[in-house]
Structure 1
């Protein structure tokens, strides 16, 4: 299909991946973009989010980098959760970013800051709220995709981008045999005022993990030094009961008692810190995962981005960056295929060739790491041995071995793809 008429694109979901896709595609004059978000207004659920070099790289090409501010992470401490004793004193810095002097050093920021920075770059009129997708249908070869929303409205589009998260209805429609499962790994998250913890003596108010037998406690600042208003607390439990009929898993209000029951083994300073959290502030995020998808597009007219394409259960702590990278590469692929008679089909093939193997590599790494952690628990290992093995796993994540993730330069990835394609034609 040559661009005699504008290509119509429907993006499902207004998270970082959907917004990035909208920004990138709206810059193409022959593309008409609409983003459908089920929420009645802009919102981002959660607490803090890590912005590393890979995220800065994609935010920069989207023009949104200057709108994201937070606390520089610097040295990320790994601690024995029972004693608070640092376990990585010999590590110069376990943060996978660049130097503190770098404008784009690793930060931890409020998720709402990232959302606002991206929203600011989406042209007016593109986003439609209160649009919950009910169904999508593949029409004939040249007639696109038919979409139906809960409010009864319908539309068609030449290309649909499923950016609707880990429980994506787009993915479920395309791949009905792909099933998710609740893992039992659950995060309880909250943002509280920094001033509310000033009375806790000898608490190191820097980014750090405190490891327990069946979970960990995470603390970080989320505001830059000029503000320093809020900080983030996450209590992670690795062995939560899993019920087969559970469907609600994200941002569920949870009681203080429920969270505190999972912190009995921790250092007294942690318990004192948790005591300041007001009742009703905690939110539960039950991790959901699924197997690696071989294909992240279908029907020659639908693409999946972000958690919709790779339900990794929050692995690597860089999901927003992955989703934004997806959207930008998809836009470049369309631009690259503009002279083809089958623009969308060709663009989706390029998208698959670049992003598919990237996620396969992540799944392979997680499989191997999971086996290593399982081996560390065999033979009734004691607490210190288990914690040591877990912290060693963090060292792998943060010590440079995963620079292909944390320092990924998506603009360079695209340049290398184009160069390889040109070389193959010679």
Structure 2
């Protein structure tokens, strides 16, 4: 097997999953991460069975199961009378059906598990990426301090504002979706007596802009609360800012008492602008490709943003391992395997009606990145 030198821009969930999968196959990987270190930022990652199955294949299953919380059901409830419109068994039922459960885990715990599994020194912190150059025999990652990193392959896993994406396809900007998300973490004890705390529960509002989602976090000791409201524009500096709890509660004053009780327990919230892009017709050029939000940013209404990046990482590692002698062809096989599926999830997330009335979740949860055919579009919906 030909050993490849691979430079990954971005040390998030997708970039580290890719590095771990490539190292397991004997390739030389370095991640270039702008941040000086990983902190306990963010709140949650929903690892649905498709993502957990992928991570199980990297040997991370035990540590993630010990840290994360297993959702018992995926429940839909209506905003006014609280009636259930769907209830999908998860936990052991999902493991039996799909080969893995659904876990909710703090993003920092997931990053820590990935980092601990990587070869020491894989991540270069404080190494922001400024640009890219490439020729027929290789690609060069250009860092903000001017250092040039020669590689056989460069992967842009650097998020929605990807430098690598702009270098490949020109500058552009994501569109504000007209939605603001609110996130809070609440001690379970503050919600004593509330129903369905061990399930992923979504309260559907009278319009698509308003919804509340809750699920267990940190082994079930905490409950993550996620809500959205409509907004005409986003004029503030920064994409994530402290929010006003009273403003959030006022936006849901007409919701069922059990839903309002969730917001009443929130003491602090963070507010973020949600952005979208249309699905891309291409992700790759020569020896460079994109992964995760750099290729297909999506709103979080199907809880698949991190999951799609994890799937990308496994399929890309398989493609590079199989096609190490012809990297450009391997990258095309990777994106051909992924574009239709991720586009369907992007559009389904934006429509925000998935599983409202029940339905078949198999096309999302039953996908197995380790065995999906390379170079062939995955079934979508």
TM-score where L is the length of structure 1: 0.78
Q: What is aligned with 2:216?
A: 221
Alpha-carbon distance between aligned partners in 2 of 1:270 and 1:403, rounded to the nearest angstrom: 28
Alpha-carbon distance between aligned partners in 2 of 1:176 and 1:163, rounded to the nearest angstrom: 17
Q: What is aligned with 2:379?
A: none
Alpha-carbon distance between aligned partners in 2 of 1:366 and 1:269, rounded to the nearest angstrom: 25
Q: 1:211 to 1:45 in 2, by over 3 A?
A: same
The alpha carbon displacement at 1:363 in A equals: 5.0
Do the aligned partners of 2:315 and 2:374 also contact (CA within 8 Å) in 1? no
The alpha carbon displacement at 1:35 in A equals: 0.3
Q: What is aligned with 1:346?
A: 329
- 5+ residue gaps in structure 1? 374-389, 421-426
* Pairing 1:312-391 to 2, within 5 Å after superposition: 312-338=298-324, 340=325, 343-363=326-346, 370=351
Choose the corresponding residue for 2:204, options 204, 208, 211: 211
* Pairing 1:98-247 to 2, within 5 Å after superposition: 99=93, 102=96, 104-136=100-132, 138-149=133-144, 151-176=145-170, 178-198=172-192, 203-207=195-199, 208-213=201-206, 214-224=209-219, 228-237=220-229, 239-243=230-234
Alpha-carbon distance between aligned partners in 1 of 2:367 and 2:236, rounded to the nearest angstrom: 36
The alpha carbon displacement at 1:125 in A equals: 0.9
The alpha carbon displacement at 1:247 in A equals: 6.4
Q: 1:365 to 1:49 in 2, by over 3 A?
A: closer
Q: 1:271 to 1:312 in 2, by over 3 A?
A: closer
Q: What is aligned with 1:256?
A: 245
In angstroms, what is the RMSD of aligned CA positions? 2.7
Q: 1:97 to 1:165 in 2, by over 3 A?
A: farther
Q: 1:264 to 1:32 in 2, by over 3 A?
A: same
The alpha carbon displacement at 1:118 in A equals: 1.4
Instruction: Extract structure 1 runs of 4+ deviating beyond 6 A.
Output: none
The alpha carbon displacement at 1:96 in A equals: 6.4
Higher strand share: 2
Please tell me whether residue 50 in structure 1 is matched to residue 46 in structure 2: yes
**CA displacement 1:209-253 (0-9 Å, x = unmatched):** 2232340112221233xxx3211111221x21214x66632x422
- Larger radius of gyration, structure 1 or 2? 1
Q: What is aligned with 1:404?
A: 363
Alpha-carbon distance between aligned partners in 2 of 1:321 and 1:258, rounded to the nearest angstrom: 31
The alpha carbon displacement at 1:23 in A equals: 0.4
Find the residue that maps to 1:261 and give its secondary structure.
helix
Alpha-carbon distance between aligned partners in 1 of 2:263 and 2:316, rounded to the nearest angstrom: 43
Number of residue-to-residue matches in the alignment: 369
Find the residue that maps to 2:25 and give its secondary structure.
coil
Alpha-carbon distance between aligned partners in 2 of 1:163 and 1:247, rounded to the nearest angstrom: 24
Do the aligned partners of 2:183 and 2:270 also contact (CA within 8 Å) in 1? yes
- 5+ residue gaps in structure 2? 377-381
Do the aligned partners of 2:297 and 2:346 also contact (CA within 8 Å) in 1? no
Q: 1:22 to 1:82 in 2, by over 3 A?
A: same
The alpha carbon displacement at 1:56 in A equals: 1.6
